[in-house]
Chain A
Amino acid sequence: MAPQESASTPELGASSASGFSRRTVLKGLGVGAGAIAAAPVLAACTGGSKPSAGGSASVNTTSKSTSLGSSGSDDVPKRAIQAMIDAFQTKTGDKVSINTVAHNDFQNKISTYLQGSPDDVFTWFAGYRMRYYAKQGLAAPLDEVWSKIGANFSDAIAKASTGDDGKKYFVPNYNYPWGFFYRKSVWAAKGYQVPTTFDQLKTLCAQMQKDGLTPIAFGDKDGWPAMGTFDYINMRTNGYQFHVDLCAHKVSWDQQKVKDVFDNWKALLPYQDKAALGMTWEESAQTLAKKKSGMYLLGSFVTQQFTDKTVLADIDFFPFPAIAVEGQDAIEAPIDGFMLSKKGGDNGAAVALLEYIGSAEGQDAYAKIDTSNIATAKGADTSTFTDLNKKCAEAIANAKSISQFFDRDALPAMANNVMIPALQAFIKDGTYDTKNLEAQAKTLYASQ
């Protein structure tokens, strides 16, 4: 099991980081010890095509097989990726083996995964997270692919796919907006109106509470969902640019602007689900489906949880209301997509796969199954869009700035090790310590 495995082998993770390949470890230890040492590494390694001998720079254009490491372990994305790959295999005759790893485990092991024997192509995210691994030389540049697919994407998305060195490292698949999702039937029955200002939102929440609903569904057992609330209140309070600067630690955490974010949030805290810290986002989604909560601030992937068609057709969405600056101009819409591992850069079939994924045709194959996200390629089929899809796409298209999620815009350690406990402590009793946040940020960013 993954947690145990990673638990028992921190040293091995470190040693593989220091340049041992699996092969040298095996050689050095003899068969018995080697099997023990290599077990976790082997678990991360996934077959697929082997790196070309000597890591030659030339791309093997005759290769007909490649591998895809996927974190799409939930039912809907899993089937959608399969459908996209099937379409690619039918079209080209290439063979793709898919290795699906539980979503959170995939993310937690990304460093060791990329340094071990990664698949040629792997699912990943735009933002600081993409640029970070590109900068470390663990991903192969995709300029060649982009010369063919570039016209399919908007400038904003092309920019989001670019590393610090100006090369492209990322092929976007879809993005999805964050916002408040609610059931139209519940709102119609109670006569609720979509709030556009923070005060209207608070009034609405108070009314919902009076009506016996949990105003805002919330599940933060995994720690990250609370970042969406933080990002929105931050952007609405201080503007998009401040969000970017704060995430990159260009500005101090220990300042009034950050305190304002927490203080604004405090006004919403009584209306968010009290049981948030014991629930996953999937569990919280059920409270919305069962009409126990009034609305849910989450990404549009929340609709994946509504397998009942009548529930799904009953879902609507509105952007986070305005607070102080920039109105509702900025939207949080993280981009998910694919990258090419360093090893995969030598494989022509992997490059062909990414070209296909970057085409409207490829994105349509995915979107046919996963209807909760918005394809990023121009010319992707929108004829099957539901009203909700259209609304989400429109909200993204109308936004003046598109932010990634906190953990994609910031140093991973800041998101995982600092923000998760800090936000959980805040949710628990409304306390925060910006001075300590700054002290931690200083140490962690300096370690990079």
Chain B
Amino acid sequence: MSSDLPLVGVRPDAGERTPARRRKAGNRKVSRLTSRDKVVLGIMVAIPTLIELLLVWLPTGLSIGLSFTKWNGLALSNIRNAGLSNYSFVVHDYPPFWPAVRHNIIWLLFLGFIATPIGLLLAVLLDQKIKGSRIYQSIFFTPVMLSLVLVGVIWQLVYSRDNGILNHLLGTSGKSNAIDWFGDSNVNLWAALVAATWRHAGYIMILYLAGLKGVDPSLREAAAIDGASAVQTFFRVVFPAMRPINIVIVVITIIESLRAFDIVYVINRGTNGLELISALVIQNLVGEGQIIGLGSALAVILLVISLVPIIFYLVRTFRKES
């Protein structure tokens, strides 16, 4: 870390010498990099690399290392080797783990087969030349921009057992048969998924709208001349033409389902039917109940699962380029 400090420190000096150098380079008219350019380029490469190393790879490495230890997160001298015991504990003795895996899979399927198609539908509808298209777009995109606190507050208003809109509409508000949308573990996952869809669909919609705008209009004209209906045009011509976007959407949906966290954490910190792997990681790494080794093991498991779609995506991308 310290060896890179002078790079930053050098900059003012380099600035003082610039006028002379620029003149020299201009006279020679050689398009080679001056040593100043090299320094600048070096810094431009080094700083992001350093940030990436420090904030991504170092913590990742530390997490992997810590997952094989027992540690209370306080003094470094307390770290002890634990071998694979954290992993075996998670798989065999940790009750929330398998429900969390199951919920993550449900989350993926729900986003993939319901939320993403809704986003797609919105995009296709708003891509038509209808009045106020921009306004609708803004409305559907708003949830994507809201902070999770607001999302939590808004859905609390909808779902609250005694005062929520939903129970009012169902006519069960304040009665004993009111549905406890967030407290009943049979329904709270679905309630949370609807809230998640509310955000996810807007996100997908914007991506698809961008994709649709990029589709060559002559393709549609050709399809129209050939007598294809709107539906046929979309599924046979437009949709296949958006293949790159489709891949991005698939990857985003998978990643969203793996990193799903905020909504369940706002509801009840990921307990009682809302367990997700990401929430378990936080429960074990942050706060009073800090068990670093265990939390790290859960984080590594999540990392390994996440790598699958990432590798899939990278392989696709590079294959196309070559």
A278 engages B262 (CB within 8 Å): no
Identify which of B70, B74, B287, B290 contacts A446 (C-beta below 8 A).
B70
In the complex, the chain A residue whose C-beta lies closest to that of B280 is: A417
In the complex, the chain B residue whose C-beta lies closest to that of A424 is: B272
Identify which of A32, A110, A446 contacts B288 (C-beta below 8 A).
A110
A14 engages B66 (CB within 8 Å): yes
**CA of A129 to CA of B47, assembled, Å:** 42
Q: Does A51 contact B (CB under 8 A)?
A: no
Using a Cβ–Cβ cut-off of 8 Å, how many residues does chain A contribute to the interface with B? 63
- CB-CB under 8 A from B2, the residues of chain A are 28
**CA of A416 to CA of B278, assembled, Å:** 16
B interface list, Cβ under 8 A from A:
1-2, 4-5, 8, 47, 50-51, 54-55, 59-60, 62-63, 66, 70-76, 82, 85, 89, 92-96, 147-149, 161-162, 178, 180-185, 188, 261-262, 265-266, 268-269, 271-272, 278, 281-295, 299
**CA of A446 to CA of B71, assembled, Å:** 9
- CB-CB under 8 A from B54, the residues of chain A are 28-29, 33, 37
Identify which of A136, A278, A433, A443 contacts B183 (C-beta below 8 A).
A278
**CA of A110 to CA of B290, assembled, Å:** 10
Q: How far is the CB of A112 from chain B (nearest CB, A)?
A: 8
Contact with B along A405-437 (1 / 0, CB 8 A): 000000011111100111011001000010010
B93 engages A111 (CB within 8 Å): no
Q: How far is the CB of A423 from chain B (nearest CB, A)?
A: 10
A7 engages B265 (CB within 8 Å): yes
**CA of A17 to CA of B287, assembled, Å:** 13
In the complex, the chain A residue whose C-beta lies closest to that of B284 is: A417
In the complex, the chain A residue whose C-beta lies closest to that of B94 is: A440
**CA of A411 to CA of B188, assembled, Å:** 30
B47 engages A30 (CB within 8 Å): yes
B1 engages A443 (CB within 8 Å): no
**CA of A19 to CA of B288, assembled, Å:** 19
Q: Does A308 contact B (CB under 8 A)?
A: no
Given A32-B47, A421-B271, A440-B93: A416 and B288 within 8 A (CB)?
yes
Q: How far is the CB of A191 from chain B (nearest CB, A)?
A: 25
**CA of A401 to CA of B173, assembled, Å:** 44
A278 engages B182 (CB within 8 Å): yes
**CA of A7 to CA of B284, assembled, Å:** 11
Q: Which of A11, A29, A446 has most chain B Cβ within 10 Å?
A: A11
24 contacts between A and B (CB under 8 A): A4-B148, A4-B149, A4-B262, A11-B55, A12-B59, A14-B66, A17-B74, A19-B76, A28-B2, A30-B5, A30-B47, A107-B287, A108-B288, A110-B287, A112-B286, A115-B74, A136-B74, A138-B74, A413-B290, A415-B288, A417-B283, A443-B93, A443-B294, A447-B293
A6 engages B74 (CB within 8 Å): no
Residues of A256-303 whose CB lies within 8 A of B: 275-279, 283
Residues of A115-141 whose CB lies within 8 A of B: 115, 129, 136-138
A416 engages B55 (CB within 8 Å): no
Contact with B along A1-32 (1 / 0, CB 8 A): 10110110011111101110000000111101
Identify which of B95, B266, B285, B294 contacts A425 (C-beta below 8 A).
B95
Identify which of B85, B95, B262, B292 contacts A14 (C-beta below 8 A).
B292
Q: How far is the CB of A24 from chain B (nearest CB, A)?
A: 9
Identify which of B66, B185, B289 contacts A413 (C-beta below 8 A).
B289
Query: When A and B form their complex, which 3 residue pairs have the shortest distance between CB atoms, in order from nearest?
Result: A278-B183, A11-B59, A416-B289
A447 engages B71 (CB within 8 Å): yes
B63 engages A17 (CB within 8 Å): no
B71 engages A108 (CB within 8 Å): no
Q: How far is the CB of A165 from chain B (nearest CB, A)?
A: 15
Identify which of A13, A18, A447 contacts B286 (C-beta below 8 A).
A13
**CA of A412 to CA of B289, assembled, Å:** 5
Q: How far is the CB of A131 from chain B (nearest CB, A)?
A: 14
Given A10-B299, A108-B287: A17 and B183 within 8 A (CB)?
no
B291 engages A444 (CB within 8 Å): yes
A421 engages B183 (CB within 8 Å): no
- CB-CB under 8 A from A13, the residues of chain B are 73, 285-286
- CB-CB under 8 A from A7, the residues of chain B are 261-262, 265, 278, 282, 286
Q: Does A77 contact B (CB under 8 A)?
A: no
Q: How far is the CB of A441 from chain B (nearest CB, A)?
A: 10
In the complex, the chain B residue whose C-beta lies closest to that of A105 is: B287
Q: Which of B2, B147, B162 has most chain A Cβ within 10 Å?
A: B162
In the complex, the chain B residue whose C-beta lies closest to that of A447 is: B70
Given A11-B63, A14-B285, A275-B180: A422 and B95 within 8 A (CB)?
yes
- CB-CB under 8 A from B285, the residues of chain A are 10, 13-14
**CA of A448 to CA of B82, assembled, Å:** 12
**CA of A107 to CA of B11, assembled, Å:** 44
In the complex, the chain B residue whose C-beta lies closest to that of A2 is: B149
In the complex, the chain B residue whose C-beta lies closest to that of A17 is: B73
In the complex, the chain A residue whose C-beta lies closest to that of B293 is: A447
In the complex, the chain B residue whose C-beta lies closest to that of A3 is: B265
B1 engages A28 (CB within 8 Å): yes
B180 engages A277 (CB within 8 Å): yes
B286 engages A108 (CB within 8 Å): yes
B71 engages A111 (CB within 8 Å): no
Given A416-B288, A447-B294: A279 and B95 within 8 A (CB)?
no
In the complex, the chain B residue whose C-beta lies closest to that of A137 is: B75
Given A4-B148, A412-B289: A14 and B183 within 8 A (CB)?
no
**CA of A115 to CA of B76, assembled, Å:** 12
- CB-CB under 8 A from A36, the residues of chain B are 51, 55
In the complex, the chain A residue whose C-beta lies closest to that of B88 is: A443
In the complex, the chain A residue whose C-beta lies closest to that of B180 is: A278
Residues of A338-368 whose CB lies within 8 A of B: none
Q: Which of A4, A14, A433, A446 has most chain B Cβ within 10 Å?
A: A14
Q: Does A48 contact B (CB under 8 A)?
A: no
In the complex, the chain A residue whose C-beta lies closest to that of B70 is: A447
In the complex, the chain B residue whose C-beta lies closest to that of A214 is: B176
Q: Does A148 contact B (CB under 8 A)?
A: no
Residues of A129-170 whose CB lies within 8 A of B: 129, 136-138
Q: Does A321 contact B (CB under 8 A)?
A: no
Q: Does A43 contact B (CB under 8 A)?
A: no
Extra A-B contacts (9), CB below 8 Å, given A11-B59, A14-B66: A1-B147, A4-B149, A7-B261, A14-B62, A28-B1, A111-B74, A417-B291, A428-B185, A439-B93
Q: How far is the CB of A253 from chain B (nearest CB, A)?
A: 12
In the complex, the chain B residue whose C-beta lies closest to that of A112 is: B286
**CA of A222 to CA of B292, assembled, Å:** 23
**CA of A440 to CA of B97, assembled, Å:** 13
**CA of A279 to CA of B160, assembled, Å:** 9
